[in-house]
């Protein structure tokens, strides 16, 4: 359904990406921000699914400044390699590349953003700092608690797993306290990565509910 694309950031850096278009006239667009595993099979499948719901979906390869075309799976060895990308993340560069994706689809209609893991944190930061967005959805973003003093410019929905080893519920409580304007859902028994069918932590029941909430959220806020 989709195709590889090139995006150009404001500093003229060219990065890769993936774009999926719906079969009918698009209702809007959604920027999809990757986990630490790159624009891999799962992120492409997320884009395809979003296109199936009637939106143009584009996933910028936000690691291209470090290692072009990086993508991997979920074995312990691959996870160890992928973690090096977030030892000292360059948030400014990732947001610059995210803005390039927003700009690439803004002619389609209203633009939302959804991110997972690292991408969930990027999506939250984008909601507070970037221009051209209409709504944001963030799945298990570990840095959101640190960013919670920043108020999103657009309606924002957050999803967390109750048993996420990297995001304690005290962090979620912090976000709730600082951001009563943000919609937050916690999924009982769910772990980090519960939305990804390819990970051992996949939780179908939680993922199905979260997806329905996400679809409804975009349907409400991404209106021409």
- Considering only CA atoms, which of 59, 75, 54, 150 is closest in space to residue 113? 59
Model pTM? 0.98
| pLDDT given at position 148 | 98
Q: What are phi and psi of 89, to 5 degrees?
A: -65, 140
Topology (CATH) of 2-221: Rossmann fold (3.40.50)
Average pLDDT (63-79) is 95
| pLDDT given at position 67 | 95
Per-domain boundaries in the chain? 2-221
pLDDT tens, residue by residue, 58-69: 999 999 999 999
Vertex 138: Cα angle to 157 and 200 (nearest 5): 125
| pLDDT given at position 224 | 78
β-bridge partners, 38: 71
With a pLDDT cut of 70, the percent of the chain lying above it is 100
The pLDDT-based confidence of 87 (bands split at 50, 70, 90) is confident
Terminal Cα distance for the chain, rounded = 24
Return the number of other C-beta atoms located less than 10 Å from residue 85's C-beta: 18
- Considering only CA atoms, which of 121, 184, 175, 128 is closest in space to residue 151? 128
Residue 28 has pLDDT above 80, yes or no: yes
pLDDT tens, residue by residue, 31-61: 999 999 999 999 999 999 999 999 999 999 9
């Amino acid at each position: 359904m989709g195709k590889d694309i090139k995006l150009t950031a404001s500093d003229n850096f060219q990065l890769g990406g993936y774009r999926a278009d719906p079969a009918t006239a698009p209702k809007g667009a959604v920027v999809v921000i990757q986990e630490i595993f790159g624009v891999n099979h799962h992120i492409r499948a997320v884009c395809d699914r979003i296109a199936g719901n009637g939106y143009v979906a584009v996933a910028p390869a936000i690691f291209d400044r470090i290692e072009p075309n990086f993508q991997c799976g979920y074995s312990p060895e691959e996870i160890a390699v992928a973690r090096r990308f977030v030892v000292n993340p360059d948030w400014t560069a990732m947001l610059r590349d995210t803005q390039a994706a927003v700009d690439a689809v803004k002619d389609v209609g209203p633009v939302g953003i959804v991110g997972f893991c690292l991408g969930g944190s990027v999506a939250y930061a984008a909601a507070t700092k970037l221009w051209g967005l209409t709504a944001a959805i963030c799945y298990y973003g570990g840095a959101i608690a640190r960013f919670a003093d920043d108020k999103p410019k657009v309606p924002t929905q957050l999803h967390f797993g109750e048993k996420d080893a990297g995001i304690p519920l005290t962090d979620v409580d912090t976000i709730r306290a600082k951001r009563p304007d943000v919609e937050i859902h916690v999924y009982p028994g769910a772990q980090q990565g519960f939305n990804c069918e390819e990970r051992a932590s996949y939780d179908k029941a939680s993922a199905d509910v979260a997806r329905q909430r996400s679809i409804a959220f975009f349907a409400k806020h991404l209106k021409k």
